[in-house]
């Protein structure tokens, strides 16, 4: 569906509460903003496909040395849904995302307590195979990071690590993953060319395809569109909507319209705390917490 973003109220949506005092003559900037957020939220997915909890964080505290970056964060992620994490710079969004596949293990001096579960099993329990965990919980970073090798080898990398050697099987995975990331048609004749020759938007979709190739159950995306132009952003958003049918997706974004457009749920972080998390349609039109309202209306952050 082509992306439309207008300030005209959408007749199809019931008028939710406006967050600012109405002005009879001309809408104030924050009213226009509220209207545009409602329009963006009206494009969000309808009902979650499932209500089962795929991942859950309970009372997660995280310290970098003496500095506490997460404070008692608890959140549930529903299977086959998109959750957006928003909040000002430095509030702990990436830190929290990394807790969901133990990427923080790689950071020296980082200590975490509390629990994070995947299908009810604690990721931080003794004996958990972290390599296998990161195959089940894939990650796409802000900056596309293709390996300096061919497009084909980039995608086949993870499956090869898992021991798949058969060229035919690998070829099928490469095609399937590139199709899944909406990149196949653009690169199918260039699979043996270096991935570094792709555009930024194509590189980001390549990284998504590489994550899909290990057949993850959860996909974590840290500002995946921040370096992309609007058309590539739109492609990645469309892709997320399609992937939602099979994956549990958690995305960090600074783009609140994007969060409103693509996500089922949104969580607002501030100073290491998850202030509020709920249905995106409500978060962007009628948040429960004053701090959320102040942030989404641009009063701070």
Ligand X SMILES: Nc1ncnc2c1ncn2[C@@H]1O[C@H](COP(=O)(O)OP(=O)(O)OP(=O)(O)O)[C@@H](O)[C@H]1O
91 binds ligand X (CB under 6 A): yes
Residue from 56, 81, 83, 95 in contact with ligand X (CB under 6 A): 95
Residue 63 binds which of ligand X, Mg ion, none (CB < 5-8 A, kind-dependent): none
Contacts for 25 with CB less than 8 Å, ≥ 6 apart: none
Is residue 262 helix, strand or coil? helix
Residue 196 interacts, among Mg ion, ligand X, none and using kind-specific CB cut-offs from 5 to 8 Å, with none
If phi over 0 gives left and psi between -120 and 50 gives alpha, with beta otherwise, what is residue 92? Answer: left
Report if residue 90 touches ligand X, rule: CB under 6 A. Answer: yes
Under rule CB under 6 A, residue 107 binds ligand X: yes
- Min separation Cβ 61 and ligand X, Å: 13
Binding span for ligand X by CB under 6 A among 49-57, 85-93, 234-242, 279-287: 85-93
Cβ contact 142:223 at 8 Å:
yes
- Is 92 a binding residue for ligand X by CB under 6 A? The answer is yes
Phi, psi of 93 (to 5 degrees): -65, -50
Q: Which residues pair with 61 in a beta bridge?
A: 113
78 binds ligand X (CB under 6 A): no
Handedness of CA 268, 83, 233, 224 (dihedral sign): positive
Distance in Å, CB of 177 to Mg ion, minimum? 26
CA distance 216 to 111: 26
Residue closer to ligand X, measured from CB, 160 or 254: 254
Applying CB under 5 A, does 95 fall inside the site for Mg ion? no
Decide if 34 contacts 18 (C-beta within 8 A): yes
Q: Which residue is nearest to Mg ion (CB)?
A: 94
Q: Of the ranges 31-39, 89-97, 125-133, 186-194, which one interacts with Mg ion (CB under 5 A)?
A: 89-97
Cβ pair 208, 232 in contact under 8 A: no
94 makes contact with Mg ion (CB under 5 A): yes
Does residue 93 touch ligand X according to CB under 6 A? yes
What is the C-alpha to C-alpha distance for residues 301 and 297, in angstroms, rounded to an integer?
10
- Minimum distance, C-beta of residue 141 to Mg ion, in the bound complex (Å): 10
How many degrees, rounded to 5, is the angle at CA 178 between CA 175 and CA 181?
150
List of residues contacting Mg ion (CB under 5 A): 94
Q: Kindly list the residues in this chain that would bind ligand X in the complex (CB under 6 A).
A: 64, 69, 87, 89-95, 107
């Amino acid at each position: 569906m082509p992306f439309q973003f207008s300030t005209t109220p959408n007749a199809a949506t019931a008028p939710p509460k406006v967050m600012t005092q109405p002005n009879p003559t001309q809408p104030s900037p924050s009213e226009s903003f509220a209207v545009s957020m409602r329009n963006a939220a009206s494009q969000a997915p309808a009902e979650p496909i499932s209500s089962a909890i795929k991942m859950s964080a309970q009372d997660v505290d995280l310290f970098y040395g003496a500095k506490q970056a997460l404070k008692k964060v608890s959140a549930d992620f529903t299977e086959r849904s998109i959750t957006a994490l928003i909040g000002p710079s430095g509030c702990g969004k990436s830190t929290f995302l990394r807790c969901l596949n133990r990427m923080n293990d790689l950071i020296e001096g980082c200590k975490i307590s509390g629990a994070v579960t995947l299908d009810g099993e604690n990721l931080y329990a003794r004996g958990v195979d972290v390599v296998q965990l990161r195959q089940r919980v894939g990650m796409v970073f802000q900056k596309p990071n293709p390996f300096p090798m061919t497009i084909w080898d980039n995608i086949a990398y993870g499956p090869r690590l898992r021991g798949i050697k058969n060229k035919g099987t690998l070829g099928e995975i490469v095609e399937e993953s590139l199709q899944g990331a909406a990149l196949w048609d653009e690169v199918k004749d260039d699979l043996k060319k270096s991935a570094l020759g792709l555009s930024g938007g194509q590189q980001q979709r390549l990284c998504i395809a590489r994550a899909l190739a290990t057949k993850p159950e959860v996909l974590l995306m840290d500002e995946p569109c921040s370096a992309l132009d609007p058309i590539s952003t739109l492609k990645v958003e469309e892709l997320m909507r399609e992937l939602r049918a099979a994956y549990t997706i958690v995305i960090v974004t600074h783009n609140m319209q994007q969060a409103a457009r693509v996500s089922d749920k949104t969580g607002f972080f501030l100073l290491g705390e998850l202030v509020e998390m709920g249905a995106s349609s409500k978060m962007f039109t009628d948040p429960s917490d004053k701090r959320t309202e102040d942030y989404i209306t641009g009063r701070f952050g």
